[in-house]
Structure 1
Amino acid sequence: MEEGIAETPEELLAKQHRKEKKDLQAKIQSMKNAVPKNDKKRRKQLTEEITKLEADLNQKHEEEVKQLKSTTDTKVEEVINGVESLKVDGGEEEEVKQPRVTKAQKRREKKAAQEKERETRIAEAEVQNLQGVRHQEGLKLTQKLAQQQLQIKEISSDGHCMYRAVEDQLAQRSVPGLPMNVKELRSRTAQHMRSHADDFLPFLTNPNTGDMYTTDEFEKYCSDVEHTAAWGGQLELRALTHVLHLPIAVIQADSPTIKIGEEYDSEPITLLYMRHAYGLGEHYNSVERLKDPANAEDS
């Protein structure tokens, strides 16, 4: 059995950055709650203070990422120099046997490299977009959610984000009998779409010809829903409302909340649709109850 994988320095730093961002959001929410909405002058000052806090944190994170990369490069260079300096009597270099790299180690190294690249891209995108559309979208969504005593719960961006967000919402409810993992949610969604093709085919067209999907094209689409990391949208959400017998509400920054499956009389699953998330494209997040900043560390 393969041993547990220790977290790399890059993973530990990314985890620290996520916690610091979460703590800052809690602090910002507390600051907003302390200023009356009709005090326009103070609200303007508050916006400037929040912008500076976020800019300072992003600069700090960027510097820490660079420092970690520099430290890692230095250690690698020291190891290389140490190997080259090994000599045997007579001045000849001693043959140094390279340790055998296992497949499991290669997988760990590949995963760590991919995660490091992803975190770097996110950090760069956040710095570039601090005053751009992503930042503005985040502020609008935070304000909308605060009115409902909710806050963002971040979901990983891996192609499964919509299903992971639904999975998280179901886990928060702990309702017995509902599909509770991404694989099952995808499988049940595809099954429903196949068995109700007439409800979905009219909305699927070939991007090259503009014609409605053929039977084979539709089956390929459903197979991708079930077996790949194909991104989910409103068609899949519609299918999920029937699979779960629950309505789904999708909150957006610049548009009214989309409500799907309103024929089901239950508290809706709530998702957050972000058009500019992390500069990496469209993304779904989950939501959770707004935490008291004073108790955020204890939760």
Structure 2
Amino acid sequence: MEEGSVDTAEELQARQHRKERKDLQAKIQGMKNSIPKNDKKRRKQMTEEIAKLEADLNQKHEEELRKLKSTNDTKVEQVINGIETIKVEGSEQEEVKQPRVTKAQKRRDKKAAQEKERESRIAEAEIQNLQGVRHQESLKLAQKLSEQQLQIKEISSDGHCMYRAIEDQLAQRSKPGLTMSVKELRSRTADHMRSCADDFLPFLTNPNTGDMYTTDEFEKYCSEVEHTAAWGGQLELRALTQVLQLPIEVIQADSPAIKIGEEYGSEPIILVYMRHAYGLGEHYNSVERLKDQANVEDS
């Protein structure tokens, strides 16, 4: 901020919201630290209370941002109406001589207008985010994961997200022979699908004709799995459970968890499926222990 400048209402509001969020996080951390990790009943009650506190604060911020936008719109309308109704005292209306505006002042006015527009867009985006499906999906997932003492671990969205999430899950196990790179996971998946074509081919159809894939089309599909950033889905997850001989559990916001490979009976690889995570759509993330839980167990 330049010396001598005054914060706009939007900037003050954003600053206050950040402070309130920070205060709430400190309160939540205190709540978590006050309950023993083995008191599952109280920790479940605490999780529900935390979710309500966060939802109440989001609703409060949403209402404040809406009121601020409404106030700004009203002020702009009043200014415009005031300019249109300027009258010169006396019986006859005379032309009002406007003072000459310097180039420097024009630049300052333009900069101020751009900054105000930017703050308005930020406020609108924050309202949309609080109301949007992406935010609601994140809240539901956080609630489900907290019941298992887990939280989302972000994975980059580059087409390899499912394989990167599994790579991360294997690395967290720290067991010899289980660690695999994304490249190796893709290669092993494609090889397994080729060797067990009868188990996978019937589930693949040509999007234009609706016919089951030909042998050549199936080979092209497997090649894309192995060599490109083609997104993975349930077919690839099924192949990976058989390659790794581990079950895979996929947690979703609005549907029951998908469990694949339960016949292996081991601790499952856990992924989070997000339908609205990014503009491109579907995305997979990994999970990790809740931070406070990890600190307690490691101490």
Aligned twin of 1:185: 185
What amino acid is aligned across from residue 287 of structure 1 in structure 2? V
Change (3 A) 1:49 1:188: same
Change (3 A) 1:46 1:127: closer
How far is the alpha carbon of 1:246 from its aligned partner?
A: 0.4
What amino acid is aligned across from residue 142 of structure 2 in structure 1? T
Change (3 A) 1:144 1:222: same
Q: Residues 236-251 of structure 1: matches in 2 within 5 Å?
A: 236-251=236-251
1:268 partnered with 2:268: yes
How far is the alpha carbon of 1:129 from its aligned partner?
A: 3.0
Change (3 A) 1:42 1:271: closer
Change (3 A) 1:25 1:216: farther
Aligned twin of 2:143: 143
Q: Is the 8 A contact 2:249 2:260 kept in 1?
A: yes
When structure 1 is superposed on structure 2, of 272-281 and 205-214 the one drifting more is: 272-281
How far is the alpha carbon of 1:170 from its aligned partner?
A: 0.3
Q: Is the 8 A contact 1:152 1:288 kept in 2?
A: yes
Aligned twin of 2:167: 167
How far is the alpha carbon of 1:152 from its aligned partner?
A: 0.4
CA distance in 2, matches of 1:270, 1:55: 37
CA distance in 1, matches of 2:50, 2:285: 31
Change (3 A) 1:148 1:55: farther
Structure exhibiting the larger radius of gyration computed from Cα positions: 2
Q: Is the 8 A contact 1:126 1:279 kept in 2?
A: no
Change (3 A) 1:148 1:165: same
1:204 partnered with 2:207: no
Q: Is the 8 A contact 1:247 1:264 kept in 2?
A: yes
Identify which of 47, 57, 79 aligns with 2:55.
Answer: 47
Q: Is the 8 A contact 2:28 2:50 kept in 1?
A: no
Aligned twin of 1:288: 288
Q: Is the 8 A contact 1:27 1:293 kept in 2?
A: no
Change (3 A) 1:293 1:246: closer
Change (3 A) 1:230 1:45: closer
How far is the alpha carbon of 1:280 from its aligned partner?
A: 3.0
CA distance in 2, matches of 1:25, 1:240: 41
How many residues end up aligned between the 2 structures?
Answer: 209
Q: Which has the higher contact order (CA 8 A, sep 6+)?
A: 1
Helix, strand or coil: the match of 2:262? coil
CA distance in 1, matches of 2:23, 2:188: 38
* Identity of matched residues, %: 75
CA distance in 1, matches of 2:178, 2:294: 34
CA distance in 1, matches of 2:190, 2:244: 13
The two structures, once aligned, show a CA RMSD in angstroms of: 3.6
Q: Is the 8 A contact 1:125 1:279 kept in 2?
A: no
Change (3 A) 1:275 1:55: farther
CA distance in 1, matches of 2:234, 2:24: 29
What amino acid is aligned across from residue 143 of structure 2 in structure 1? Q
Change (3 A) 1:53 1:205: same
CA distance in 1, matches of 2:198, 2:181: 27
Change (3 A) 1:267 1:125: farther
Q: Is the 8 A contact 1:137 1:274 kept in 2?
A: yes
When structure 1 is superposed on structure 2, of 46-55 and 268-277 the one drifting more is: 46-55
CA distance in 2, matches of 1:272, 1:178: 20
Aligned twin of 1:112: none
CA distance in 2, matches of 1:207, 1:185: 26
How far is the alpha carbon of 1:175 from its aligned partner?
A: 1.7
TM-score by length of structure 1 reads 0.61
How far is the alpha carbon of 1:29 from its aligned partner?
A: 5.5
What amino acid is aligned across from residue 176 of structure 1 in structure 2? P
CA distance in 2, matches of 1:197, 1:267: 28
Change (3 A) 1:165 1:46: closer
Deviations 1:119-163 (A, max 9, x none): xxxxx9877433111100000000000000000000000000000
Q: Is the 8 A contact 1:155 1:165 kept in 2?
A: yes
Change (3 A) 1:51 1:289: farther
Change (3 A) 1:125 1:156: farther
Change (3 A) 1:41 1:251: closer
Helix, strand or coil: the match of 1:143? helix
Q: Unaligned stretches of 5+ in structure 1?
A: 1-22, 57-123
